[in-house]
Amino acid sequence: MSEDATLTIEEKRTATFRFPFRGQMDLQEAAESHIPPEDFPTAKRRDWKVVSGQDTIPTGVDMRVWHGTLAALLKDLVAFTSGGGPLTCAPAIPAWLAMHSSDPQKVSVFCHRYGILRHLEEAVNIVKKSFASLRHLTIYLDQDYDDEEDRVVIDVSVSIAVDDFLQQYNQCIIAWATDISPDGLAHIRLLYDID
């Protein structure tokens, strides 16, 4: 690969790809062919329209979410079509995530896809402040059997009486509701175990 792949948001509703593809390749075809369906949400795939490397973003899409999706897609495409190489928008793994997750790369890609990494960090910070008797905190991706939607899960284990736990839990949730946007909350789940 002779040049880096880049992604820039040039206008409010237009993203432009600059891809070092060998020959002509349709971006959608590449995505459909090479990216596992679970890594390319159906809703987004339906909306995907690529014309000469330019993608028009549908009205009403949160730009942060869209940028996260494109960044993840770009990374996957480069890996599959060129055997890897320099990538200017590859998400870095923050230390706090690496500390709490057994697969921080997977969590990081998911968070960038939906633009929620900063929300996740804020959620983790609130959890740490809220639960005085926190024993373990782990972060991972999970999918529900019912709706098949992925979530990033903050799973905590505490040693505390039920009523004391509920008081701390409610403080945590109010702080989440106050400080974290709905776009973040829609993809983050708090689980607990009173052990």
Partner 1 sequence: MDPRLFLQIASDLHGANQSNAGAGAGNRTSITCSYYALFNAAVEFLEKVDVAVIDKPRAHSSVRNALIYSQDIKLKSVGISMETMLGERKCAHYEMSDPKPERLANAVSVYKQCSQLIVDIDQRRRSAEFPQIKAIIKSWVRSTAASGLKVIR
Q: Interface residues with partner 1 (CB under 8 A)?
A: 43, 60, 142, 144-149, 151, 153, 162-163, 165-166, 169-170, 173-174, 176-178, 182, 185-186, 188-195
Residues 6+ apart with CB under 8 A from 52: none
Q: Is 105 helix (H, G, I), strand (E, B) or coil?
A: helix
Question: Quick check: 116 and 70 in contact, CB under 8 A?
Answer: no
Report, in Å, the least distance between residue 129 CB and partner 1: 16
User: Which of 110/169 has CB closer to partner 1?
Assistant: 169
Report, in Å, the least distance between residue 7 CB and partner 1: 23
Helix or strand (DSSP H, E) at 147: none
Report, in Å, the least distance between residue 108 CB and partner 1: 21
Pairing verdict, β 134-143 and 150-158: antiparallel
User: Which of 1/153 has CB closer to partner 1?
Assistant: 153
Q: Is 172 helix (H, G, I), strand (E, B) or coil?
A: helix
User: Which of 24/59 has CB closer to partner 1?
Assistant: 59
